[in-house]
């Protein structure tokens, strides 16, 4: 049997050798690749990795052979010589994907022209031109038609311009989303590099939560599991090691760590080819956009009904006149033009009635907020996150790095039973001299080997520590004890490593010792690792049994460290039995306690004030952390999160509670310590579903992804966060600062309120425009506002109004009111009162002008009707120009919720109104002022110089003053309306 087995193996090796020779003879290195100094082309590399072709890989000499052919070193990486990098880029390409081209401005113009009502108006304009020129000749007969055409083009170009600018903003933000950096070794130095700068031959270091940045091969690593679901759809992770070394771009590291050799980049990778078949779509509509689309549809149907009635009323006068004259079958060109004008007015009533600006206002407001939040260190990945954050009622915040600075240092250590301050190099040096040599040796062996970090020498010859803040703090401590990272790592060989696991809350490693045998090292949450120890090292360095008295003493030390807001870690080791296999689990018990360290992570400046701001804004802040409960409570008190009536609970206790107990506990929970990802997920789920809260969650690790996904809004940390956490989040906090989260909430509220302002503005204008033309048509047989004039008003409302009101920046008063929550009404009773009050005032003004205007202004003669209609049009526009100021006045009082204003109108002087913060803010908003100024200027030009097109006539100075005053009177009227009592909702 043995001879047979050997024969089979020899035959197999011979066949592989023969096949390898044939493959080797088949592959010819292209001349341009040889000339550049490489021995393998991009297509060959792509076929090896993408096809998982082990035979080809063996043919080329394995990973080492590929590295040689790419003129790189698995240890030192690429040379950074500029000429070498350029040659490599020319041969293998860049690690960038082909992006969809930015749509040109004319595409947006074409899309704007697709509007049904504008198409109907265009047909009206065409018929008007044909009939008018036939009857009255050029150019007099073309005035009406050209006026409608000019109005249509103006609306189209303004709409297209705003859509085009918004698309450019989203394109810029999309680039920000894709900025990812990885750790790379080049010229023997480890450094951070953008994934777009990677080239074949680069040596990249990956850890849990990282995204594989390009196709490549596994060089070395531990317990590496890759989630390939984004490419294959398979949820089961793939084990990657020397036997299966293939790593594909776009996949994610689920567990373990590794070094990989980049082989294929950009569009040649499997991910690149997949992206080439897809056209990247924009963001879906946000909930508010969907809601407002529904509102627009309903109002549009109402407008259509009024338009039909208006057309019937206007036309029946002409038809009845012709009927009485017996000329019903005899129609002149003038009669056709009059009917066409009636139809155009009916169509423009639909144009004005349909509030197309509602969704546009949401998009503009969100785009503006996203751009501004980027400046405030918050990158919004999903549009809906802006408006959702404005409704947030609860924030479940991580501790480390969010509430604290994320710059950790070891400040206290308990080794061999003695507590020492080690917050500076001198104290650490003193501790080293006091400890037995064997203890120091074991301690350094544990810290330098059982770590996910690394100590490297940068290009300036200085030590640089890479890794998480906790790992960095421990490595700094070990270096201050006089340890040498490289020398200590070279003494032993790592046989197996189990990276930090959020369930076990520990990290373990097995080392092969120089003299033979193996030793396991473990570090992690103090209570858990100490519970796994049955021995400890005493003052002499001897290993003695860990009795109950000593265990209680060590637990007391852990508690005292935690009470000082120190994060504690316990380090232990155990000698392994002979014959330990890599397939075996690293033992969980039987360790010897080396020591306990207390790590300080100071609270970020401004966090306490931010938490207080959240509290005053009705947002409950909860801390959810994996730390010791005493540490968590100390930090929570320092931040102002934990109050007298609040509850701090541990994860294990929380998960044992029954549903009834949870319903009583959850509203009181302010701190959850020692929490697992499942605990965090459960808390968030109950808050959202059972208590109907709008929940924001912060997180940085892969383990936070479920909670980030479950939350209404997920906030991932930009510095400490893994790529998996960022991908699961809606917003990335670029500076990892809690204060930025408060800024996001403020912007969210600003978006919500700005859109409320716009809705109030637009519905007011809609109601008035409908009532004026409809009532006038019913009672007088003609409409004072023509098609061209209504189109101009429509543009003021839909586009300029959206631009002006949607770009209001947030103010501090926004954070002094209760959140809207999940069930709050968008159009409140206060808004309805303001809409109806303003509509009533404007309608009375328009109706009074129409019935009494001629006598009021002393108008007579052939132009009296045209002059009166011009005054009505001018006054109507100035009422709309003043509406934004009135709206801001309403909202300023509504947001401040002051009751000190007397109901007597005389007590509200203009000076008092100037002191309102929102009005002062408007004067600093250049977009707002620019829009209002442009509207007034164009209105003046339209009335004074475009009479033929706009059906207007130049007005006198007195008539202009009267028009402006009628608009301004709305300001005090709005103040009076404010004091009409309405419900709170």
Between CA 895 and CA 892 the distance in angstroms is: 5
What is the phi/psi pair of residue 111, to 5°?
A: -65, -40
Residue 20 vs residues 16, 56, 61: alpha-carbon distances, Å: 6, 8, 10
Q: Which residue, 830, 839, 838, 972, is CA-closest to 913?
A: 972
Cβ burial, residue 866 (10 Å; 0-12/13-18/19+): middle
Tell me which of 144, 398, 679, 736 is the catalytic residue.
Answer: 398
Contact 547, 501 (CB under 8 A): no
Contact 632, 585 (CB under 8 A): no
Query: Could you report how far apart the first and last alpha carbons of the chain are, in Å?
Result: 87
Between CA 726 and CA 716 the distance in angstroms is: 5
Between CA 239 and CA 422 the distance in angstroms is: 41
Query: What are the DSSP calls for 652-704, one per residue?
Result: HHHHTS-HHHHHHHGGGEEEEES--HHHHHHHHHHHHHTS---EEEEE-SGGG
Contact 58, 20 (CB under 8 A): yes
- Measured from the Cβ of residue 895, the count of other Cβ atoms closer than 10 Å reads 19
Residue 14 vs residues 6, 10, 52, 501, 768: alpha-carbon distances, Å: 12, 6, 22, 45, 91
- Is residue 201 left, alpha or beta, with left meaning phi > 0 and alpha meaning psi from -120 to 50? left
Q: Which residue, 834, 848, 845, is CA-closest to 762?
A: 834
Residue 398 falls in the annotated catalytic set: yes
- Residue 647's contacts (CB-CB under 8 Å, 6 or more residues apart) are 665, 668, 669, 670, 671
Encoded tokens for 41? 């082309």
What is the phi/psi pair of residue 423, to 5°?
A: -85, 5
Between CA 241 and CA 876 the distance in angstroms is: 75
Between CA 434 and CA 585 the distance in angstroms is: 36
C-alpha angle with apex 853: 849 to 858, nearest 5 degrees?
Answer: 160
Using DSSP bridges, classify how beta strands 454-457 and 506-512 pair: parallel, antiparallel or unpaired. Answer: unpaired
* Dihedral over alpha carbons 138, 143, 145, 148 (to 10 degrees): 150
Between CA 697 and CA 388 the distance in angstroms is: 12
What residues are annotated to the active site?
398
């Amino acid at each position: 049997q043995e001879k047979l087995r050997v024969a089979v193996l020899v035959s197999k090796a011979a066949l592989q050798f023969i096949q390898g020779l044939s493959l080797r003879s088949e592959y010819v290195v292209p001349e341009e690749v040889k000339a550049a100094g490489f021995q393998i082309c991009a297509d060959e590399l792509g076929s090896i990795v993408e096809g998982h072709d082990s035979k080809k890989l063996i043919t080329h000499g394995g990973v080492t052979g590929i590295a040689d052919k790419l003129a790189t070193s698995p240890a030192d990486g690429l040379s950074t010589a500029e000429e070498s990098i350029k040659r490599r880029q020319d041969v293998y390409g860049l690690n960038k994907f082909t992006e969809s081209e930015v749509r040109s401005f004319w595409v947006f113009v074409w899309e704007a022209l697709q509007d049904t009502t504008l198409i109907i108006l265009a047909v009206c304009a065409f018929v008007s031109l044909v009939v008018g020129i036939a009857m009255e000749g050029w150019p007099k007969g073309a005035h009406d038609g050209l006026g409608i055409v000019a109005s249509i083009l103006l609306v189209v170009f303004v709409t297209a311009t705003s859509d085009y600018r918004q698309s450019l903003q989203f394109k810029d933000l999309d680039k920000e989303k894709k900025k990812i950096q990885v750790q790379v070794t080049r010229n023997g130095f480890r450094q951070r590099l953008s994934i777009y700068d990677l080239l074949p031959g680069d040596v990249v270091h990956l850890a849990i939560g990282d995204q594989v940045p390009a196709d490549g091969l596994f060089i070395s690593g531990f317990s590496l599991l890759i989630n390939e679901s984004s490419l294959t759809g398979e949820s089961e992770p793939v084990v990657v090691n020397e036997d299966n070394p293939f790593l594909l771009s776009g996949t994610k590291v689920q567990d373990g760590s590794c070094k990989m050799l980049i082989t294929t980049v950009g569009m040649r990778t499997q991910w690149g080819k997949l992206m080439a078949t897809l056209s990247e779509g924009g963001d879906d509509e946000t909930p508010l956009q969907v809601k407002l689309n529904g509102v627009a549809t309903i109002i549009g149907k109402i407008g259509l009904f009024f338009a039909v009635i208006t057309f019937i009323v206007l036309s029946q006068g002409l038809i009845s006149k012709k009927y009485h004259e017996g000329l019903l079958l005899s129609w002149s060109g003038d009669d056709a033009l009059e009917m066409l004008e009636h139809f155009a007015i009916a169509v423009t009533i639909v144009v004005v009635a349909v509030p197309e600006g509602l969704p546009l206002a949401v998009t503009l407001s969100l785009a503006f907020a996203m751009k501004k939040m980027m400046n405030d260190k918050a990158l919004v990945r999903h549009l809906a996150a802006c408006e959702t954050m404005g409704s947030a009622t609860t924030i479940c915040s991580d501790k480390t790095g969010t509430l604290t600075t994320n710059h950790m240092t070891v400040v206290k250590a308990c080794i061999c039973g003695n507590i020492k301050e080690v917050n500076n190099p001198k104290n650490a040096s003193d501790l080293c001299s006091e400890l037995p040599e064997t203890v120091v040796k074991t301690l350094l062996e544990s810290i330098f080997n059982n770590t996910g970090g690394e100590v490297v020498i940068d290009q300036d010859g200085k030590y640089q520590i890479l890794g998480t803040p906790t790992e960095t703090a421990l490595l700094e401590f070990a270096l201050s004890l006089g340890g040498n990272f490289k020398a200590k790592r070279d003494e032993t060989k790592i046989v197996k490593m189990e990276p930090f696991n959020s369930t076990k809350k520990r990290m373990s490693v097995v080392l092969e010792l120089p003299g033979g045998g193996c030793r396991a090292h473990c570090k992690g949450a103090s209570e858990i690792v100490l519970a796994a120890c049955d021995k400890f090292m005493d003052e002499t360095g001897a290993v003695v049994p860990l009795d109950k008295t000593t265990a209680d003493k060590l637990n007391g030390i852990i508690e005292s460290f935690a009470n000082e807001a120190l994060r504690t870690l316990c380090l232990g080791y155990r000698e392994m039995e002979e014959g330990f296999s890599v397939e075996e689990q690293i033992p969980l018990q039987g360790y010897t306690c080396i020591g306990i360290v207390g790590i300080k992570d100071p609270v970020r400046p401004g966090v306490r004030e931010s938490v207080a701001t959240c509290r005053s804004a009705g947002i409950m802040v909860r801390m959810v952390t994996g730390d010791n409960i005493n540490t968590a409570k100390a930090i929570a008190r320092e931040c102002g999160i934990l109050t007298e009536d609040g509850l701090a609970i541990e994860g294990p206790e929380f998960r044992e509670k029954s549903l009834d107990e949870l319903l009583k506990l959850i509203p009181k929970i302010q701190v959850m310590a020692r929490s697992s990802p499942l605990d965090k997920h459960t808390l968030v789920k109950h808050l959202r579903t059972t208590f109907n809260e709008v929940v924001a969650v912060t997180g940085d690790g892969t383990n936070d992804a479920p909670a980030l996904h479950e939350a209404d809004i997920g906030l991932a940390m930009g510095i400490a966060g893994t790529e998996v956490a960022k991908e699961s989040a809606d917003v990335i906090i670029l500076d990892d600062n809690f204060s930025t989260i408060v800024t996001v909430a403020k912007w969210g509220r600003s978006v919500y309120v700005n859109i409320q302002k716009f809705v109030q503005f637009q519905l007011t204008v809609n109601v008035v425009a409908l009532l004026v033309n409809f009532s006038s048509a019913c009672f007088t047989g003609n409409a004072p506002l023509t098609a061209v004039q209504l189109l101009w008003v429509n543009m003021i409302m839909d586009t300029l109004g959206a631009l002006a009101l949607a770009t209001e920046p947030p103010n501090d008063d926004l954070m002094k009111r209760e959140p809207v929550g999940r069930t709050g009404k968008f159009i409140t009773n206060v808004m309805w009162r303001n809409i109806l009050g303003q509509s009533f005032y404007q309608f009375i003004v328009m109706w009074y002008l129409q019935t009494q205007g001629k006598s009021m202004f002393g108008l007579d003669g052939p132009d009296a009707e045209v002059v009166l209609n011009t005054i009505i049009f001018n006054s109507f526009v100035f009422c709309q120009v003043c509406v934004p100021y009135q709206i801001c006045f309403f909202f300023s009082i509504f947001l401040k919720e002051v009751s000190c204003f007397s109901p007597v109108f005389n007590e509200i002087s203009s000076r008092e109104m100037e002191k309102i913060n929102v009005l002062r803010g408007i004067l600093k908003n250049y977009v707002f002022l620019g829009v209002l100024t442009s509207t007034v200027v164009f209105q003046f030009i339209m009335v004074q110089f475009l009479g033929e097109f706009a059906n207007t006539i130049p007005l006198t100075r007195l008539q202009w003053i009267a028009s402006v005053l009628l608009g301004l009177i709305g300001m005090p009227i709005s103040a009076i309306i404010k004091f009409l009592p309405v419900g709170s909702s």
